[in-house]
Chain A
Amino acid sequence: MIRKQTLVLVLASAAALGTIAASAGAQTAANPVPGEAAGTFMMASKFSEPTGELMYRNVCAGCHMPDAKGTQGAGFYPALAKNEKLAAGGYPVLVLMKGLNGMPAVGQMMTDQQVADVVNYVRTHFGNKYKDAVTPADVQPLR
């Protein structure tokens, strides 16, 4: 119940601030992320992205890259595209909720629904075709 209220609050604040973000976005020369105004840069303490796609593009892509192919420097960020480790939906949920190596537990800044949404998005895009969706109930026990 508490969790549902939190989600509603997040969405409500997103709607209230939507006009500000939209005007900021509209003034920029290029806005590469469609629909971004609906959910980014809302608050520092948690992610407000309303869909799995927006979460990927605005948060995950910072490291795993917009094409989800990962990247390499002194170390690397693994590709999520065509990644067989995503076969079991519980694995990406676990990584989001507990972190992995240098990766922070970013799922702790998302609602259960948001975690499920972004996991489901990645597991059905970028060459991944895993149709068994995870649910918020799969996320909750890892809090």
Chain B
Amino acid sequence: MTDRPAPAMTKRDLLSLIGKSAGATAMYMAMSSLGQAQASTFKGPIKLDGDPGGASVLVLGAGVAGLVAALELSRAGYKVQVLEYNPQVGGRSWTLRGGDTYTELGGLTQTCQFSSGNYINPGPWRIPAEHGGLIHYCKMLGVGLEPFQQNNYNAYIHSTKAFGGKPQRYKTIQADYYGHVAELLAKAVKKNALDDAVTAEDAAILLESLRGWGALDNDMRYVRGRSSASRRGWDKGPGGGLTAEPIPSDPLDMSTVLKSGMWRQIGGHLSNEHQHAIFQPAGGMDQIAKGFERAVGNLVRCNSKVTAIHQDEKGVTVHYLDTKTGQKLTAQAGYCICTIPLSILSQIEINVGPSLDAAIHAVPYLPGLKVGLEFKRRFWEQDEEIYGGITSTDLPIGQISYPSYGYGSQGPGVVLGAYANGAFAYEFTSLAPAERVQRALEWGSQIHPQYKSEFMNGIAVGWHRVPWTQGCFAIWTEETRAEHYKNLCQMDGRIMLAGEHASYIGGWQEGGITSALDAIGRLHQRVLAG
């Protein structure tokens, strides 16, 4: 290993070497580990070649999974009808803006009072670049994407247990944490403490890299100076003219950084699904729903509550209720793609085999709560130079996310004022909506004192009280996956399930889309086989 000139070798050289010495399989494995393989299972537009011969499909649920199924099956020549519980399509691909009303389970209704142009996405709110399926449909449906600021170095990390509750800039904590770790590691290398793990040649390279990674000075120290200030921020920033000379800031000492626990909040943006570039639809997540509505809205019957699903050797019969008229109706088709969340489907009569039946009843749904808060002005931009991004906190609100649109607007702005999980989500959900908003305001004002004087209105969505999902998304464990996942995805007679719950990308729209594409691909093979 030590004689290989690694820094001078390009990725292509390496692949070529592996290909020569170990064959194509090893080369593919290496490519995967170097990040050149597909991110999700989406591999380009689906091709359903061949004549389905007039076969019909009933799609249950008009979220992204059901809408993708309806779109592709109808294009392939199937007769498609979609039943949807809600008055509109989109499912969890959902946006709340001024004038919208939302009635949660229990009957409490909120009317969103946001000003024109402001919104929150109570459900999914981000589109990672690696979610090729969703991005494909955004392009196809004319849904414009804009950058979502996942990681903003100027946003805060906040802890009630550190710095007297005073929020710290993300960049300050990351710079000081990296800086001290780099200095410490450099010391260890210089003392030859890592000789059993690092060769002399690599140690030299490591030291050089640590200087850059940790913003160390010439003596390999993380100290007050130009180098550290250029990462963590200055006491007085550089400018032009007579008073332009910058004044560096004092790094926090290592013990303070470690004991603050704030290093836990470094790297929320490092997972594949949160890395930049990451997007949002311009104008709200429901632009995706609207795009699908333009394409296949004519196939969807809304206000239709499914009460029973019955299949026999000839086809599938679905019993449903018109939620406006109370009329009991039935729909029939040769096959059924059912995208109803398992939290709901587990309460609906359906005649499937025991393994699918067990799978349907085996998956709990996450709580999760979001609060949108509107303020008279964008004080986070105007007073604190925070443009989009996320402040994290150990308060029950979990985080504050600033809008990744409309920067510099002088009018009112909306933040995501809470995204609560765990016990906090249950406790938030048990409060009346107005009380949830009030709590989010109280807690958030510990981070932004401007909250109190600038507040206008808010809206709160606790996902366990969402009437059509009874939860945020499916919670799988390794044990339930092993026992039930394949059974859940298998075609059962004439019925096949799809949705984020039938994917390994739980809680993301890409999961619903790749699941739907997989399901209709298999359905099509079955139909063609007669």
Contact = CB atoms under 8 A, between A and B. Distances in A.
Interface of A: 20, 24, 27-30, 32, 40-48, 57-63, 65-66, 71-77, 99, 101-106, 109
Q: Is the interface of B mostly helix, strand, loop or mixed?
A: loop
Contacts of B426: 47, 58-59, 62, 106
A102 B423 contact: no
Interface of B: 85, 105-107, 160, 305-306, 340-344, 346-348, 361, 363-367, 396, 398, 420-424, 426-427, 429-432, 435, 438-439, 442-443, 462, 464-471, 475
Contacts of A103: 364-365
Nearest to B475: A104
A105 B479 CA distance: 14
B470 A77 contact: yes
A32 B436 CA distance: 12
B17 to A, nearest CB: 47
B105 A59 contact: no
A63 B470 contact: yes
Contacts of A99: 364
A104 to B, nearest CB: 4
Nearest to B165: A20
Contacts of A32: 431-432, 435
Given A32-B431, A45-B422, 4 more contacts: A28-B435, A45-B423, A73-B467, A101-B361
A62 B429 contact: yes
A109 B344 CA distance: 24
Nearest to B369: A62
Contact of B343 (A20, A57, A101): A101
B464 A44 contact: no
Contacts of B422: 44-45, 109
Given A74-B85, A105-B364, A62 B423 contact: no
A29 B431 CA distance: 13
A97 to B, nearest CB: 12
Contacts, number: 116
Given A62-B430, A62-B465, A74-B85, A44 B424 contact: yes
A141 B265 CA distance: 36
Contact of B430 (A28, A59, A109): A59
A107 B117 CA distance: 42
B430 A102 contact: no
Contacts of B475: 104
Contact of B344 (A20, A46, A75, A106): A75
Contacts of B420: 44
Contacts of A45: 422-423
Nearest to B426: A59
B85 to A, nearest CB: 4
B423 A46 contact: yes
A45 B398 CA distance: 13
A30 B433 CA distance: 12
B427 A76 contact: no
17 contacts: A32-B431, A41-B439, A44-B398, A44-B422, A45-B423, A47-B423, A47-B426, A71-B105, A73-B105, A74-B340, A102-B341, A102-B342, A102-B346, A102-B363, A103-B364, A104-B364, A109-B422
A65 B468 contact: no
A46 B348 CA distance: 31
B350 to A, nearest CB: 13
A28 B439 contact: yes
Nearest 8 pairs between A and B by C-beta? A73-B467, A102-B343, A44-B422, A62-B429, A101-B346, A104-B364, A75-B344, A62-B430
B427 A59 contact: yes
A59 B305 CA distance: 28
A75 B470 contact: yes
Nearest to B103: A73
B367 to A, nearest CB: 7
Contacts of B442: 24, 27-28
A24 B160 CA distance: 13
A24 B439 contact: yes
A62 B432 CA distance: 9
B453 to A, nearest CB: 15
Contacts of A59: 423, 426-427, 430
B502 to A, nearest CB: 15
B429 to A, nearest CB: 4
B364 A29 contact: no
B365 A102 contact: yes
